[in-house]
């Protein structure tokens, strides 16, 4: 089903160009070949499609395991996603993530673990920092605005402005000594602050201040 990813990507791009005011900034910041951990805020179920349409490399996403219960739906989803339990990073999901990155692939993660009900960035889970540290892959911050409007019944009549900003890759410094929960939380906050820095103030939420971690 690998071909299905590219069909959906093309359809998503065409839909965005036709029905919305779609803009991508920073596409030149996407490395051509090295492993990449893409991290983004999360406003809508359409966000994975937006990222897929905006990237010139195939990205694999984490999706809640409930979506894979149907064999048919699961078969299609597996072309661009693998299952994960909501709210936790299981051993299998971690292994898949590290194997994908070790092979030079692109992994896209929404660290909040769920769509924001307020459009502001909420608390992020530390799994993203753990993947970054264990894999050594550069982190690519992505900021999305506008997709929350897809939840409105009349969005089609307004041609919503959909913006995706792609930042420059950052390296998460390897911590000295033991990787504690506190250190993971600190690293995660730093990653989220990179995303927040690219967003309008009203989207930044918990990460409106502070100094980003990484270089």
**Mean pLDDT for the stretch of residues 107-131:** 93
181-190 burial by CB neighbour count: b if 16+ within 10 A, else e? Answer: eebbeebbbb
Beginning with the edge strand found earlier in the chain, give each strand of the sheet holding 21-25 in spatial order. 21-25, 161-166, 139-145, 36-40, 106-109, 59-64, 81-84
Predicted local confidence at residue 134, as pLDDT: 93
Rounded to 10°, the helix 127-135/181-197 angle is 100
210, pLDDT greater than 60? no
* For residues 13-22, average pLDDT: 96
Higher pLDDT, 83 or 163: 163
Does residue 192 form part of some domain? Answer: yes
CA dist., res. 193 & res. 90, Å (int): 25
Residue 65: closest CA among 79, 86, 37, 49: 86
Across 174-191, average pLDDT: 88
Q: Within 10 A of 110 (CB to CB), how many other CB atoms are there?
A: 24
Q: Is 213 domain-assigned?
A: no
**What pLDDT, on the 0 to 100 scale, is given for residue 89?**
67
Residue 214 domain-assigned (yes or no):
no
215 domain residue, yes or no? no
Give the whole-number percent of the chain exceeding pLDDT 70.
94
Cα separation, 60 vs 38, whole angstroms: 10
Domain membership of residue 194 (yes or no) is: yes
- Joined together, the tokens standing for residue 137 give 């892959």
Strand-pair partners of 89: none
Helices (H), the chain: 2-19, 47-54, 71-77, 91-102, 127-135, 155-158, 181-197
Q: pLDDT tens across 120-161, in order? A: 999 999 999 999 999 999 999 999 999 999 988 888 888 999
Query: How many folded domains does the chain comprise?
Result: 1
Q: Is residue 33 part of a domain?
A: yes
Residue span of the structural domain in which 102 resides: 2-207
pLDDT at 88: 63
Task: Supply the pLDDT for residue 215.
Answer: 47
| Helix 2-19 and helix 47-54, axial crossing angle in degrees, nearest 10 | 100
CATH code for the domain of 198: 3.40.1130.10
- Partnered with residue 62 across adjacent β-strands are 82
Residue 63 is assigned to a structural domain of this protein: yes
* pLDDT value, residue 75: 75
- In this predicted structure, the answer to whether residue 66 has a pLDDT above a threshold of 50 is yes
């Amino acid at each position: 089903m690998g071909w299905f990813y590219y069909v959906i990507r093309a359809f998503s791009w065409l839909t965005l160009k036709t029905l919305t005011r779609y803009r991508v900034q920073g596409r030149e910041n996407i490395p051509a070949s090295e492993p990449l951990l893409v991290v983004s805020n999360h406003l809508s179920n359409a966000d994975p499609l937006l990222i897929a349409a905006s990237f010139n490399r195939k990205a694999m996403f984490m999706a809640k395991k409930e979506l894979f219960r149907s064999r048919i739906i699961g078969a299609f989803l597996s072309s661009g996603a693998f299952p994960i339990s909501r709210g936790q990073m299981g051993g299998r999901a971690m292994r898949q993530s590290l194997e994908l990155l070790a092979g030079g692939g692109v992994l896209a993660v929404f660290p909040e673990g769920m769509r924001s009900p307020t459009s502001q960035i909420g608390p992020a889970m530390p799994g993203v920092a753990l993947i970054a540290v264990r894999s050594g892959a550069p982190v690519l911050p992505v900021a999305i605005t506008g997709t929350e409007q897809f939840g409105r019944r009349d969005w089609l009549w307004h041609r919503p402005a959909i913006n995706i900003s792609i930042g420059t890759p950052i390296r998460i410094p390897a911590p000295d000594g033991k990787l504690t929960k506190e250190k993971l939380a600190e690293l995660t906050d730093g990653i989220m602050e990179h995303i927040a820095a690219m967003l309008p103030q009203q989207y930044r939420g918990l990460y409106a201040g502070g100094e980003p971690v990484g270089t």
